[in-house]
């Protein structure tokens, strides 16, 4: 196993990948209080670029604000630190920022409340999968299960807009079970039975009139890809609506796709025991995907401002 030769930003200093560790009793590990955000890095002809870097940093700051986690960095400190981390780690395709309480604690409420910030730029294939395994279950066309036992994140417990580790615990176990049943991922519903999102992506349908529809913002994590796709629909002349939808709307949709930083636009071809569309990537899904991929590659001058060249 080759040693991972990357540098991780930890509170203003770069440390070796192997040194970026916490104690088993670290408060965030024991209590699920780690706030994070995940970004994509594109190795383009003009150099490495982070997709919508500032928006991701603002979302991390918002997560910390929702939780009451007192970050000691400004937006511009964190944007600069992310850019420097990408510069220091050639060939990286992923960028992760975490704010966590690393102190060893006895009580539920930590005595030392200031979070430590870690920023890593890496390639999950070479730096994680090649070292530790995993990562082998990616399907280009998705098969989803509507999750009927575990509900989506509830605003009165932990708002879905907070990207905090505790918000992933219940969906993770539900997805684990669905994986064993042969599905790629699950769709989470709210208390009222409306469609919310998947554990780590937003959901869209294309209705019979060719409009894209996604659930409202109070129900979901405000995905950066979701917001980008809504804007791209407008640019492509595709009608876009943000409104509640029910499971029947999924079943009867012409196309369904998920959106997330890690995968962009991701076609869905089966939900429960029903085939969606003709079982292949739908026409509108394909157009949105092609547009988003071209922007990420730096091939679309209209949307070049979405890329932050480091």
Q: Are strands 264-271 and 142-146 parallel, antiparallel or unpaired?
A: parallel
CB 216 within 8 A of CB 242: yes
- 221 in contact with ligand PMP (CB under 6 A): yes
Q: Pick the binder of ligand PMP from 223, 267, 282, 298 (CB under 6 A).
A: 223
- 200 in contact with ligand PMP (CB under 6 A): yes
Q: Which two tokens stand for residue 107?
A: 């009580």
Cβ 259 to ligand PMP, closest distance in Å? 5
Q: Pick the binder of ligand PMP from 224, 268, 292, 310 (CB under 6 A).
A: 224
| Residue closer to ligand PMP, measured from CB, 223 or 298 | 223
User: What gap in Å lies between CA 66 and CA 26, rounded to an integer?
Assistant: 21
- 233 in contact with ligand PMP (CB under 6 A): no
Cβ 72 to ligand PMP, closest distance in Å? 24
Nearest of 6, 266, 15, 237 to residue 138 by alpha carbon: 266
- 201 in contact with ligand PMP (CB under 6 A): yes
Q: Which of residues 172-191 bind ligand PMP (CB under 6 A)?
A: none
CA dihedral of 179, 184, 190, 195, whole degrees rounded to 10: -150
Number of chain residues interacting with ligand PMP (CB under 6 A): 13
Nearest of 98, 121, 123 to residue 29 by alpha carbon: 98
| Residue closer to ligand PMP, measured from CB, 4 or 128 | 128
Part in contact with ligand PMP (CB under 6 A); list of ranges 3-11, 130-138, 195-203, 272-280: 195-203
User: What gap in Å lies between CA 208 and CA 288, rounded to an integer?
Assistant: 17
């Amino acid at each position: 196993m080759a040693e991972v030769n990357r540098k991780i930003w930890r509170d203003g200093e770069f440390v070796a990948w192997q040194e970026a560790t916490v104690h088993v009793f670290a408060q965030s590990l024991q209590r699920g209080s780690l706030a994070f955000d995940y970004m994509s890095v594109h190795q383009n002809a003009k150099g490495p670029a982070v997709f919508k870097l500032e928006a991701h940093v603002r979302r991390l700051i918002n997560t910390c604000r929702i939780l009451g986690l007192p970050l000691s960095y400004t937006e511009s400190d964190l944007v600069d630190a992310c850019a420097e981390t990408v510069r220091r780690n050639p060939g990286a395709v992923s960028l992760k920022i975490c704010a966590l309480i690393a102190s060893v604690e006895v009580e539920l409420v930590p005595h030392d409340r200031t979070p430590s910030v870690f920023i890593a730029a890496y390639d999950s294939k070479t730096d994680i999968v090649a070292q530790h395994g995993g990562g082998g279950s990616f399907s280009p066309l998705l098969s989803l299960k509507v999750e009927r036992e575990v509900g989506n994140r509830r605003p009165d417990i932990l708002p879905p807009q907070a990207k905090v580790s505790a918000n992933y615990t219940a969906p993770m176990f539900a997805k684990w079970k669905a994986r064993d049943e042969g599905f790629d991922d699950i769709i989470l519903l709210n208390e009222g039975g409306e469609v919310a999102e998947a554990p780590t992506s937003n959901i869209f349908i294309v209705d019979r009139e060719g409009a894209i529809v996604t659930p409202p913002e109070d129900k979901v994590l405000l995905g950066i890809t979701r917001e980008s796709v809504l804007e791209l629909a407008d640019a492509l002349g595709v009608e876009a609506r943000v409104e509640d939808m029910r499971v029947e709307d999924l079943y009867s949709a012409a196309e369904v796709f998920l959106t997330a930083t890690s995968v962009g636009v991701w076609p869905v071809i089966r939900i429960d025991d029903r085939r969606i569309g003709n079982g292949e990537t739908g026409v509108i899904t394909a157009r949105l995907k092609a547009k988003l991929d071209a922007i990420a590659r730096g091939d679309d001058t209209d949307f070049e401002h979405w890329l932050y060249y480091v």
